Amino acid sequence: MQKLWYLAVAGALAAGIFFLAGFDDPRGRDWSLMAQNALIIGGYGDNFAYSGENVRPLMGTAVLRADSALDAGELVATLRTTPESGPIRMGKDVYLEGEIRLVMRTFIEEAPFMDGGIAEFLWIHGDTGQGPPVMPRQFAFLAGWGTLDIYLNGELLYQDLDGHFMYTEQARRGPEAGYAVAREDGTIYNPMLPDKTRFTDPTNGELHIVAHSTVTDPDNFPPHSLWIHLNFADVFVQAAPVATVSTVAP
């Protein structure tokens, strides 16, 4: 289960070194995980909601199966809005309500750190230079980039949006802390902060899923006309690779 696995590596992560044992090659074994306790993060205007404002629970689960050596797999997230969540505002005049399904089967490398489209065991976002600083520096156990389709109430709504998922140590705090991305001292994350570290809890994890268009819209953050940002607070790892490597944090 997730928490037992995290506790086993928490000390190494806190020290900035990640050690695993069992295989000579760190890549190329299957991953299988399921996530629940879904949140919609913000909406049009602010799709990261660092303070936690406009973060709402949804009904839904996500299932991910991936082979990092083949850069192949499938991610399916099935969600349903509720009276409490209200609709998802995905664009200026775009509201999603009902059953929403995100399907990602195509993985693409756009930068070397993406390792063919599916990468394992890397530091990401923040000040790493591996992904934009839209999130603080986090350790990702698994991450993927490619294209994603969205279905609304069974009908294909958007095809081949830019898609990204990452299974990371936890940055989004729970409801007791208002779903903020914040340090223990209460500092709320901001991409302009000079120090983008110490916002995460390495003893817990989360699954992020984002999809967006390539059409620009300066009134949105990030500045694309369509955005959806999901976070799953409970992740259950059914299978994961183990490797004889160490990765020193940048």
Per-residue pLDDT of the chain (250 residues; tens, 9 = 90+): 444 344 434 333 333 333 332 233 444 568 999 999 999 999 999 999 999 999 999 999 999 999 999 999 999 999 999 999 999 999 999 999 999 999 999 999 999 999 999 999 999 999 999 999 999 999 999 999 999 999 999 999 999 999 999 999 999 999 999 999 999 999 999 999 999 999 999 999 999 999 999 999 999 999 999 999 999 999 999 876 654 333 444 4
Distance CA 245, CA 42 (A): 37
Domain assignment of residue 103, given as a range: 2-246
Cβ–Cβ under 8 Å, residues 89 and 64: no
The two tokens of residue 127 are 């000040």
Query: What are the residues whose beta carbons fall under 8 Å from the beta carbon of 15, sequence distance 6 or more?
Result: none
pLDDT of residue 16: 36
Q: What is the CA angle 242-243-245, rounded to 5?
A: 145
pLDDT of residue 75: 98
The two tokens of residue 42 are 């913000």
Buried b (16+ CB within 10 A) or exposed e, 150-182: bbbeeeeebeebbbbbbbbbbbbbeeeeebbbb
Domain count, the chain: 1
* CA dist list (Å): 250 to 15, 114, 129, 197: 12, 16, 10, 11
**pTM, rounded to two decimals:** 0.86
pLDDT of residue 242: 58
